[in-house]
Amino acid sequence: MAKSRSIAGAWRRHAAALLMLAPLLAITASPAAAADAAVDGRPADLDPATVHPVCFDDLVSQAYSGEASVERVLLTNCPGGDAPTRSYRDRRIYERPRDTSQGESFATGWVASRFVGTFDGGRLVYELIDNGGGTGAFSMLLSGRLKTGAEGPMLVDLVLAPAGDRCTGGIDTAVAVDDRLMDVAQWVTPFDVVSLILDLEPEQAPDGVTAALGDEAAQAVPGCAACCVGTVVLRLDAASLKPHAGAQTDLPVAGESLHMTYDGIGEYDDGASVCLAKVVGARAADGPDPSADPGRASNAGTGAGLVGGSMADDNPDARDDIRIPLEDLAALREPLLACIRDKEHKK
């Protein structure tokens, strides 16, 4: 198994602490699997949007473990593929059978899938979510090249990008931009946004936020999986799932931005979050009109997620009040720290 840099690593200086934590898993098919998948092209009767979520069940369980024994994903005739599913926000959800092996009935969770699109080179991209029976909902992206073999259509040359659990990097939306690129919006917490503004790499964030804000203020900044405050939009290369349009650079590209709402940033009352609301609100008021930004058309309604609550909330009117390009976040560092110092001094 070959490992490439994580999406957070590719961001480096523009990555929030909990965004895209895990490494990408580039899964190379064995010679036997490659020989079995010898015919290119999509079967006429295959609709990628209707692939049953159970087909991804074995794969999602490996996303956060670092394992990569799954070399291909069958898209039809999957074991359990006749099980009923339910729908939520364009995602199909498969409830795993309950575990009764110990004499009691235990929930084993669910798998959700959503087809993002078909891209150059016959690559299909799916957004996947894994729930193990608790409250966690762990998002990931899967990119694979479509092949047709003796067992039917399948994905090979898999690239798997774990994202995060709900507000800590979970995926809100993934939308095709063209034949090569897609925009992916990930949920962020106030702690993540502070980390972004402080220009901290993911591994630096816990100590770096404490050093900048002080112990008390840093510990009070919400960073939990249910503490959504907005989303960060990244423009990913569909083949590699790397940000910045797949460029070998750490610099954001047009369309990569932070999205928040006034209601969302006003929900938390700790000192750092209050200051965050103040400086972000001031930047939005003083900055350029987002409606004049040509890049906004590809993000509106898709780039910004719901804020101030869990992913299950759904209030479209709360979207996209504030949009700040990632490259502009560094300018908020000194106003944010000055506000926090002032609050600490007045205690």
Report pLDDT for 347. Answer: 57
Residue with tokens 């209601």: 263
Whether pLDDT at 262 is above 90: no
Residues 87-110 have a mean pLDDT of 87
The rounded distance, in Å, linking the Cα atoms of 192 and 195 is: 5
Q: How confident is the model at residue 65 (pLDDT cuts 50, 70, 90)?
A: confident
Highest mean pLDDT among 15-29, 55-69, 257-271, 279-293: 257-271
Six-digit token string for 37: 């998948």
Residues 266-290 have a mean pLDDT of 82
Predicted confidence (pLDDT) per residue in 196-252, tens digit: 999 998 889 999 999 999 999 999 999 999 999 999 999 999 999 998 888 877 788
Predicted confidence (pLDDT) per residue in 134-143, tens digit: 999 999 999 9
Identify residue 225 by its one-letter amino acid code: A
The rounded distance, in Å, linking the Cα atoms of 75 and 115 is: 12
Whether pLDDT at 25 is above 70: no
The rounded distance, in Å, linking the Cα atoms of 285 and 287 is: 6
Q: Indicate the average pLDDT of the chain.
A: 79
CB-based contact 101:179 (threshold 8 Å): no
Whether pLDDT at 289 is above 90: no
Predicted confidence (pLDDT) per residue in 180-193, tens digit: 999 999 999 999 99
Whether pLDDT at 292 is above 60: no
Whether pLDDT at 87 is above 50: yes
Highest mean pLDDT among 15-24, 92-101, 247-256: 92-101
Six-digit token string for 306: 């719901």
Count CB neighbours of 216 within 10 A. Answer: 13
- pTM recorded for the entire structure: 0.81
Report pLDDT for 8. Answer: 36
Beta strands in 120-190 (DSSP E): 123-131, 138-149, 152-165, 171-176, 181-188
Coil, helix or strand for 274? helix
CB-based contact 198:220 (threshold 8 Å): no
Whether pLDDT at 166 is above 80: yes
Q: How confident is the model at residue 346 (pLDDT cuts 50, 70, 90)?
A: low
Comparing 165 with 294, the larger pLDDT belongs to: 165
Count CB neighbours of 214 within 10 A. Answer: 16
Report pLDDT for 313. Answer: 47
Report pLDDT for 342. Answer: 86
